[in-house]
Amino acid sequence: MLELFSLKDRVILVTGASRGLGLGMARCMAQAGGHVILNARSQASLEQVAGTLRAEGLAADIAPFDVGDETAMVDGVASVIARYGRIDVLVSNAGIQHRVKLDEFATADWQRVLDIDLTSCFVLAREASRPMVAQGRGRIIHTVSVMGPRLGRPTIPAYAAAKGGLDGLTRALATELGPKGVTVNAIAPGFFATELNEPLMKDAEFTAFISKRTPLGRWARVEEIGGAAVFLASEAGSYVNGHTLYVDGGLTVAL
């Protein structure tokens, strides 16, 4: 049974992996035997994180590039393929947030969020899917959110639109790439205690609200995201395609 969840020798590129959910998924996938390639903009941060993972006995490398720069993404994926000969799993996790009231929300900020949270995932899927299709096998996993596909909140229109769009992109790519041996799925996290959510976590009233609103009664821990990524990347998830897996403590099913 454990072999079903093994990622032994799989080459796995995880964007936004220097901290937060990206690092949580990368660590768990490496613990399952995968060789994780950590991506973020800062080479120094990546080297520090990769060193920590190696000290834990895990296989980790780095691929620093900016997911807001299409040329950098194309070159970054090509560099990973040149080094390892393939990419077996792509986890498009990098994203940003911008919280501003609608009447103060600049178009440039709207576009910046969409570029990083949505367009980057399209570009990376396009580039990484080519070697996956050539080898007849691959996995693409997107990090979406409970915001956008299911829920909405004030002050985050760009984030909600990007994540909703990414949910749709996941299904569209699943139908196109599935016949070629590549599955495309998404993970929709609820409220996790990460750096991205620090502004919300500092609001005691909101934190109490989320704890009450979520059936499990608390915010999620970063390490609780990894199992979903391992499942979707492994043989255990081989017939799962075009699915969004909610890891939200029951938030989206509770009234």
| Domain map (residue ranges) of the chain | 2-253
pLDDT at site 43: 97
pLDDT of residue 152 exceeding 80: yes
Active site residues: 159
State phi, psi for 73 to the nearest 5 degrees.
-65, -45
Rounded Cα gap, residues 231 and 237, in angstroms? 5
Rounded Cα gap, residues 27 and 17, in angstroms? 9
Structure tokens that stand for 116 in this block: 């990083």
Indicate the pTM of the whole model: 0.96
The alpha helices in 10-141, defined as continuous H runs, are: 20-31, 43-55, 70-84, 107-114, 120-135
Fold of 2-253: Rossmann fold (3.40.50)
Contact between 96 and 112 under an 8 Å Cβ cutoff? The reply is: yes
Each residue of 153-186: pLDDT tens digit? 999 999 999 999 999 999 999 999 999 999 999 9
If you search the block for the tokens 């599935």, which residue do you land on? 178
pLDDT at site 147: 94
State phi, psi for 166 to the nearest 5 degrees.
-70, -35
Structure tokens that stand for 85 in this block: 């000969």
pLDDT of residue 56 exceeding 90: yes
Rounded Cα gap, residues 49 and 22, in angstroms? 11
Residues 6+ apart with CB under 8 A from 48: none
Residues 6+ apart with CB under 8 A from 49: 17, 18, 19, 23, 38, 60
- Positive or negative: CA dihedral 119, 146, 234, 51: positive
Name the pLDDT band for 255 (thresholds 50, 70, 90): confident
Rounded Cα gap, residues 187 and 231, in angstroms? 11
